[in-house]
């Protein structure tokens, strides 16, 4: 197994845990559980919003599952160039977090809509860690 496959595999394992969290424990505050959003609890107590919020969480989990399954195919059957460009694609797609999601969660955090307070910074650091990890994998893969 080369460094690109290892990097993609580690991401796949982490994201599989996040998918499980979304499908089976969506209200959790671990992984990608949406329990950090105070609105999640409110949505679960609102008969009109509950099905909608649950649908959106399951939609996100399903979208993540598509990416994970594609990553597994790349790990097993992809050639070196496919794996290399998969890492580049993962870096670019993860960077998109800072375009829309980070400003939104930062605003919610500042207005007290996230528990625990400061979670947006923690999430920002975690996403930065993924990007740095993939950049290291990419650089080593290019050597």
Over residues 131-141, the pLDDT tens digits come to 999 999 999 99
110 vs 93: CA distance, rounded Å:
25
As given in the structure block, the two tokens for residue 64 are 């993540």
pTM, 2 dp:
0.90
Over residues 50-76, the pLDDT tens digits come to 999 999 999 999 999 999 999 999 999
Q: Where residue 92 falls among pLDDT bands split at 50, 70, 90?
A: very high
Quick check: 32 pLDDT over 90? no
The b-or-e profile of 2-38 (16+ CB within 10 A means b, else e) is: ebbbebbeebbeebeebbebbeeebeebeebbbbbbe
Over residues 71-89, the pLDDT tens digits come to 999 999 999 999 999 999 9
């Amino acid at each position: 197994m080369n460094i690109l496959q290892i990097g993609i595999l580690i991401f796949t394992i982490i994201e599989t845990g996040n998918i499980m969290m979304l499908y089976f424990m969506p209200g959790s505050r671990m992984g990608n559980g949406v329990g950090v959003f105070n609105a999640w609890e409110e949505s679960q107590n609102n008969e009109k919003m509950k099905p909608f919020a649950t649908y959106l969480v399951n939609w996100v989990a399903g979208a993540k599952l598509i990416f994970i399954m594609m990553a597994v195919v790349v790990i097993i059957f992809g050639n070196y160039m496919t794996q290399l460009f998969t890492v580049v694609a993962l870096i670019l797609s993860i960077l998109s977090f800072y375009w829309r999601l980070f400003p939104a969660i930062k605003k919610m955090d500042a207005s007290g809509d996230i528990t625990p307070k400061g979670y947006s910074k923690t999430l920002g650091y975690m996403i930065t860690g993924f990007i740095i990890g993939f950049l290291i994998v990419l650089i080593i893969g290019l050597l």
